[in-house]
Structure 1
Amino acid sequence: MSGIIGKITGASWRQEAKQAPLCPIKETDLARRVELLDSFEQAGLGWFWATDAFGRIIYLSENAIAKLGWNKDDLIGRALTDLFLPEQDEDGVSQSERPLKFLLSARNSITQLDVRLAVEGAEIWWEIAGKPQFDKKGEFNGYRGSAKDITATRENQRNSERLSQYDSLTGLANRHRMSKRLGSTLAAYRNAKRSCALMMLDLDRFKQVNDTLGHPAGDELLKQVAGRLGQIIGKRGEIGRLGGDEFQVMLPDIDDRGILGDLASRVIQMVSQPYSINGARAIIGTSVGIAVAPYDGVNTEELVKAADLALYSAKASGRGQFRFYSSALKDGAKHRRNMEEDLRDALHRDELSMAYQPIVDARTHKVACFEALMRWEHPERGPVSPAEFIPIAEDCGLIKKIGNWALETACCEAQSWPVELRVAINVSAVQFANDDFSLTVKRALKKSGIAPHRVELEITESIFMGDDERTQRMFKELKALGVRLALDDFGTGYSSLSYLRKAPFDKIKIDQSFVRGSCEPGNNNAAIISSIVSLADALGMETVAEGVETKDELALVTKRQATHMQGAIFSFAIKHEQVMEKLASGDLLYEPRGPERYRAGRRREFRRIGLIHGNYRYNVVLRNLSKSGAMIEGLMDVPLDTEVVLDLGDGQLAVAVVKRTEGYSQGLEFETPLISDGYEGLCTRHRVSPYQIEAAGKPLAALPADAYAALLDKGAKPDSLPQFREIPVAGFQAKVA
């Protein structure tokens, strides 16, 4: 019924409307229209603006002026563009002002354009629209437009974008943002001829923290790591968490490998300090890989791959280290896979053996103990360093099997010695973490028949992480067996005096890094040695000074009252047969034999390199290398004080002066000392820049193997004759082969 009534009523109204006379719109109706616009402005739903033909403001809603705290008299007559700041990207970097100015100058319509107002101390965004106005003659009269405040909307968008670009756990940039930032930075830096370093970090032993303390503890640990990285890096670069326990650091305008190495060392040291998590104590470490654009890569993919390879090498070298990328690392992954496969067969093929280095009494120099050291004689590669294969064994799950073999072998061989001396056996932190480790030790004691007090287990500080209760339980079980415990490599990154109160150690081994160079003026190592000896003495523990090589070091360690010593000055590690001969002779004395004084580390080398004099490049053989100089062979008639440049490969050019010359051998002193490459090698601080090679007419690319040759103009002719004679070095080819 109501529907019918409605239809009738509607029809009746339309009929009446047709019959009613039309009335003109009153002035009051126009006033209501203006009132409507005023109420729209007063409500803050939007405002209106207008300019003259010269782009000057002739009108802006009074409510907008009042809200912004501006003065109307100062505002009217100003250019519209003065009200707004130049556009900025997400990182606050100013961009071109072209969009707004272009639209105004071209007299185009403006539709939904976001602009930021030039208001000091606040960030206010408007969305503006406007149309150009023309008179009947087609003359331009300015713009008429509207505006509305979109500050809150922009903030919400920014928060959403931030969530998509930042790690929710640590607040660091995520993988997406880091990749985007690195790509844009490298692209911009190519044109500006600038460099950018990239660090890749991977936490060591993080999985054990997760497994022992739980994932919430692992999350808290990651947040603390992020905080420490922020303290070290500061404003020098951007830090990102790529996922899991992987971090990345982008460092613009740094290519000095001395600075990068120092920074990486600080990162490793800081990250390796103990963490307190919900009342528990956790210790982790980190490995760092470093690559620098454009030297190691000119785009994101190349640079990340180079840094990854360097990180992989750092982890393979024993963790807790940094490595710079070099061309030699390209085959590193393949080499590691091959080493892992060969290591699995090494036990079955009897390629592993134990060698023994004497630990002597500091007063009598008589042997008190032999440290058992694992050796691998590869059938093709020859001797493989434990520093190379032990980390591989830990990563691929072989360390328990190999460690058990080493424990049993050392116990059995020591039991056969004609003199009852102790044997010290290294225990991997991964091996120690097994709950059945004490049973493994018990089986080795029973199988060998050796007295437990003759067995000394050397454990590094890295075991003191995660589950402290489990560690203390393992100590108790081992001491119940009657074996001795030694704390190895004390003071190398995980030291804390708190665990020494509860850990039942019988001996502390002072790491060789404190002995090395302890006699040099201004070196604090001697004071550190004294402190460790005093601490051990107060706790009733013996001390062993490791790595004693020179007579001045021997005198210093003796004066500092370490109870025992170990090092090349007494003996390198020897085979078991040699141990048996020594002990059977009844002569337990080891006479110190070595150089008088410590000399900066000099690496034995035997490889062909280049020597540049004038514009000639000679082929020479590098015999040894230290931070301060080198010895080369292969040139005759080289005068003293001749300035030369050594081409060490990978764009590394070292300026040097000839300080000693004898026959075809020369001793060189570097103008700028070399630096550590993070492991056992040396490198130059700077390299030939790919931008220099590009300037020589070559396309921009990462450094080639022979960067010096790439710099040369192939068409250029020598401007002088060679001044030295090249002499073939006898045996070089044979040794290389």
Structure 2
Amino acid sequence: MPPLPPNEGERLAALRDLRILDTAPEAHFDAVCSTAAALFNVPVALITLIDSERQWFKAKCGIAVDGTSREISFCAYAILSDDVLVVENATMDPRFAYSPLVMGKNAIRFYAGAPLVLRSGIRLGTLCLVDTKPRRFSKLQGTQLESLAQIVVAHIELHRARIAAEATLDERIRSEMLTRASEERYRTAHEKLEQTADLLRLAQEAAGAGIWQWSFDEDVVQNSPESALMLGFHGESSSTNWIDISIAEWAARVHPEDLPLVQAAHTAALRDGTTYKVEYRVRRPEGSAGYRWLMSFGRIIRHEVTGKALRIVGLDLDVTERRTTQDALIQSEKRLRMSKERLALALDSGSDGLWDWNVTTGQVWYSDRWYTMFGYEPGELEAHIDTSLGLTHPDDLKQTLALIAEHFEGRSAVYASERRIRTKSGDYTWVLSRGRVVSRDEQGVPLRMVGTNIDISERKASEHHISYMARHDALTGLPNRTVFYEHLEQRLLDVRRGRGQAALLCLGLDRFKSVNDTLGHPAGDQLLCEIATRLSANICDGDVVARLGGDEFALIISHVDHVHHVSSLAQSLIDAVGQPLDLGGVLVTVGVSIGIALAPADGDMPEILYKNADLALFRAKAAVRTSYRFYEAGMDAAIETRMQLELEMREAILCGSFAMHYQPVLRLSDHRIVGFEALMRWPHPTRGMIAPGAFIPLAEETGLIVSLGSWALHEACREAASWPGHLRIAVNVSAVQFQQPGLEDNVISALTTSGLPPHRLVLEITESVLVQDAEAVIACLRRLKSLGVRIALDDFGTGYSSLSYLRRFPFDSIKIDRSFVNEIDDPAAAAIVRAVVGIASQFGATVTAEGVETRHQFEQVGLDGCTDIQGYLVSRPLPADETTDLLEEVSLNDFVSKFQKRIGLIQV
């Protein structure tokens, strides 16, 4: 299980607040994935979000599944840091080597993931790249991947802002509707109050009723003049016609026997309900004897929300239960005031442009921000719907009106449109207009609509940039593969309709990899940009040049009058590309090979024409570099054979169908076996035994040699560990294996798991290994030699600089190529062998002659000073079981005598 970030709880909370998990695909996220796959030339690109127990793919390219468990994901490690996580070969990384994503059918080898950093320490997931082949990943590429990840984060931020904006709009609309309801209640309350006042005046006039109210937070009861007189008080009434009487004064007027009854009625009403009725006696006014009976009706007024009792209002004498609305009026006025204050605050502080449209008159209220976001002063434009529509871009007006009509007709819950608005400067800026009808008449016709304008110009610019990146090569700016196929399809459609001929040129750079590896990726990028410029300068209007990935380009010639025109163009492209380039003060020269297919002669469908042009390119590279070839019928037969062999090779690797054979190395001084060379064989079920020369070059070209070489190294060490301790095992290492990371770890792993001592392992390399990046390779060889591993230079003499490498690195053994052994009677060949022996002796290295098949060759290489031989004269390469039989002969000393008898050194 990958470790958890220290702030995992906060990270998960941030992720879930976004409400983005399990949402539908979105074009801008998909565009980033497509861009990443094209930019880095990988089959799979993903935008992943890491939940508590899973990773979910918000966007994906090149894969069908929607996610995996978090436990096995690479991305769970990528979110532990803000840096890009790069795994160049997953089989060599202990964190992933045994993952089902690596060992299973997915066979992931390469991974690069840039974390999606929402804010400091909060990493939601990754933008990641996946490949089934190991590969290197430069710092520049890491920076490019981080840039794309920042675009993803920007869209996530926009997503979060959109959620917040929608919530704010809903709250504002709800507040507006509450305000309107408050206004309605306010008017209703006024009407009811006026009606109640009229009724009360009538009641007072008809029955002499008295009105009173008592707030529980005060010590006085407010009484009408009639009510005050009923209680025996005289006084001047205020402008509001109320006379204040304290609770103590009122209680003193109540008959002592009735006071507990009145208090109990109040208490019961407070506890059980809102109304009460009680009869009690009060003293008559001063100067009069006795008490007056009053029938009092009261109502408890409670808070609408909390239910707390606030006051009692009521009537005395014969006035039955009536409800006063004064408290409701006060509360309504308060809520209305607060709603207006909140709305005013929202209008003043918000960053959106608010509008309120009277649909009947066309008049619109615009907030100050609405004006200023378009560069106008508040009130500078007429406040009318025609103003907004008149500023709308003509291309957006029709859709805007259609969306408004759709909302008016009730076919959408909310009006929302993205449109361009002309600013005061004359430019256009993108806004998101959202609104909702808040009132309709009895027939459902809209009367009023409110909404906002949100500035989305930055998002639109980002989307435009992403759209451009999705259709253009990020490095050269040329159209990418997507645009290339669109143009090709359109032109071939015209060709199928009889509108002339066209041509497709597939171009592959020669010696680009050497420049890239020698001078570095920045120089390689500069070279590609210069080549793109040269190609673009040599095409005509209407033609299209595109970069398909790596060092591959394609050119569509839209109109072809004669095949000579295509030949002339191809040669001019070769000449242009072949001119020297200055890369940071270093002059380099590269070439270009071109494959050409003509339409309709070589195909009138994009896939067929491209395949045929690619076949012609393959033949051009195979024949003579820096040349062009036209497609010819039958070219695809050889390619199909090669592709079939590659497919079968991949299947054989998965099934473990390869085998190791071992050819002995004989020491000339005593005719004893001193070791074996491990040679790979492919026992094919239908083709029979396939020799290395038939499949090793293909394995190197496709990169399969890395996994094959790793298996061969482990298998050879495992087999040799059971041999007598003086015997060495030699294993060939390809130049491709040196180009991939992990070779040293692989050697250590093979020695450790097998238990073979390092001094018994010999790694055989050819000069081609050193040509790639001599300094890095020699440094690697020195580290391996420091472990005790021996290093041999194989096929010596076939290259042009072998002698210089002998001077720079002390090889333990040198192997004379079989071509010199075959021509050993040629004085020149014999002189070269003797020279090599002399050089090797100066370094203390042994010299092995390969391909010795006759007694004459055996004697001659011995006379020339070779120390060891290898070839059919000693033994053919043997499978493991026959090697065991041979070792038994060696242990019994039978082999030496049999060998000497066979070549005639001992008379039978």
TM-score range, shorter chain: 0.3 to 0.5
Higher-RCO chain (CA-CA 8 Å, sequence separation at least 6): 1
Greater helix content: 2
Structure number with bigger Rg? 2
With the length of structure 2 as denominator, give the TM-score of the two structures. Answer: 0.33
